[in-house]
Amino acid sequence: MFTSTVTDFWLTPSPTSRFLCGDDTFGVTTDAALDEDERLTVLTTTDGRTRVLLTPALAGAMGLEEGQPVDEAGFRRRLETSGISLHGADNLFYFTHEAREALLGEPDDPSVRPLTAADARAFERFEAAAPEQDLDDAYVALDHWAVHGAFEDGQLVCVASMYPWDDAPLADLGVLTLPSYRGRGHARRLVRAISRYALARDHEPQYRCRLDNHASVAAAASAGLTRFGTWDVVSPQSAG
């Protein structure tokens, strides 16, 4: 269903990883090469499988041992007992093979174009008109790897931007439409346009949003993306 770029990144073990315990439904793998801010992650794919990846040090702190029986409920109890908290899961969306082909065969809408440094004033006005929380959640920026905008009556009303994800050929995507211009298809057109841009540069578009962000989930579906699963990471404030 999804490209090998996506499945290889999420599902193929790295050379430095080692399966510790679990079964086909829930498994725990250690990797000493993990960055500090991703020293514990939890991936649950839509087929119902959960994969935990963590450092050997955290596994030891949680009392996890090679070959021991463990399920998700037991693992989460160990998290709580060890004082380790998670940030809160995001949905992960990607284009399937079929949706990808349809996307590539579609022209950009005339209202959508890439943004450059010459659009700085328009972007400043866009930021001033957007709710602060929406700006934080969407994380769109004019200096990202790729930035596109949608215009209505000469005004920048929707922005999408991307940056490479974890040095992989994935491009993490954020999109934000000004409140008074929502429901007009700007986000859908913009997500599809910037995704074509990324694919032409050998990067697979990745759309993330919080589980309770129902509007963003609906926008992903409208743009033709399919949910791959959910991904959670250790909280920056975690005692672990």
Between CA 180 and CA 62 the distance in angstroms is 48
Q: Which residues have CB under 8 Å from 23's CB, separation 6+?
A: none
Q: Which of 6, 45, 7, 8 is nearest to 204 (CA)?
A: 6
Q: What is the 3-state secondary structure (H, E, C) of 169-227?
A: CEEEEEEEECHHHCCCCHHHHHHHHHHHHHHHCCCEEEEEEECCCHHHHHHHHHCCCEE
In the chain, the percentage of residues whose pLDDT exceeds 70 is: 99
Q: State the CB neighbour count (10 A cutoff) for residue 212.
A: 10
* CA 1 to chain CA centroid, nearest Å: 18
What does the pLDDT look like over 77-132, one tens digit per residue?
A: 999 999 999 999 999 999 999 999 999 999 989 999 999 999 999 999 999 999 99
- What is the model's pTM? 0.94
User: Which domains, and CATH codes, for the chain?
Assistant: 4-91 (no CATH), 96-224 (3.40.630.30)
Q: Which helix (H) or strand (E) holds 51?
A: strand 50-54
Task: Count how many Cα atoms sit within 13 Å of the Cα of residue 193 in the half-sphere of its side chain.
Answer: 25
**For residue 240, pLDDT beyond 60:** no
Q: Tell me: the pLDDT tens digits for 151-194?
A: 999 999 999 999 999 889 999 999 999 999 999 999 999 999 99
Q: 145: closest CA among 164, 126, 158, 127?
A: 164
